[in-house]
Amino acid sequence: MPEVETPLPPARPDERRSQDTVAPEQLRADVGALLDVLAGGGVAIAPLDVAYAILAATPQGIRRIFDAKQRSYEKPSGMFGNFAMSRELHLLADEQHAMVREMVEAVGLPFSVVAPFREDHPILANVDPFVLQSSSKAGTLDMLLNAGQMHDEIARQAWRREMPVFGSSANLSLSGSKYRLGDIDAVVRAAADIAFDHGLSQYANRQGRSSTIIDFRDFSVIRVGVRFETLRQAFKDRFDVALLI
């Protein structure tokens, strides 16, 4: 059994949280600026509900992330996505796509889908082979869903630009997720050309968890993440699927 998750309380009662609503026009402008940086080969740090993330879209950006995090290339980055993107790219049965949609729209918790994908999809034609290689493994693509307002806007605008974005949690590899911009390791923070501070991540916890990663080929759990027990119960109650740890 995974360790029981315990929330990390805010330092102050009035501390901003990642789920606090950002004005739509401000969110669009911030994400547009972020994507402009990535398009130019840069690196960004973004506040997600699961943890702060570091992301890129080009070979030079991806290399800077892996170097700063001291991360092995055996651990691929994840793609920022949403249900529509998963439906387009992931090779899943219709009932599995319906399952993903219900988990996103009805359950509303963040998780990552790992599944075989359409490597010949037109949107991936714009992705440098090195970026795709470092962001996929054994013919599968990891796509993060439902990780908060900034994540969702990044995914939406990136798809519209036909510029997929890939990233991972903004921390030294294996050191645990960071839930405040100021807590990110200095070497990781220094790798970013642009960063946004939305206060404390919604699902901050003492265990350092980020998103749960589920391999939809057999429903095995690659990584236990935030609100895992709630996710596991939802899969059981709604679809009679047991997540395999």
Strand partners, 54: 45, 168
Q: For residues 117-138, b (16+ Cβ closer than 10 Å) or e, as one string?
A: beeeeebbeebeeebbebbbee
36, amino acid identity: D
Per residue, what are the HEC states of 25-83? Answer: HHHHHHHHHHHHHHHCCCCEEEECCCCEEEEECCHHHHHHHHHHHCCCCCCCCEEECCH
Residue-level pLDDT, tens digit, the chain, 245 residues: 566 788 777 777 889 999 999 999 999 999 999 999 999 999 999 999 999 999 999 999 999 999 999 988 888 999 999 999 999 999 999 999 999 999 999 999 999 999 999 999 999 988 999 999 999 999 999 999 999 999 999 999 999 999 999 999 999 988 889 999 999 999 999 999 999 999 999 999 999 999 999 999 999 999 999 999 999 999 999 999 999 99
> Model confidence over 150-171: pLDDT tens digits?
999 999 999 999 999 999 999 9
pLDDT of residue 136: 92
Which tokens hold the place of 166? 């890939």
For the chain, which domains are there? 24-239 (3.90.870.10)
pLDDT of residue 1: 58
pLDDT of residue 157: 98
H/E run at residue 186: helix 186-190
Beta strands 44-47 and 194-195: pairing type?
parallel
Provide the whole-model pTM: 0.95
Q: Which residues contact 41 (CB under 8 A, 6 or more apart)?
A: 58, 60, 61
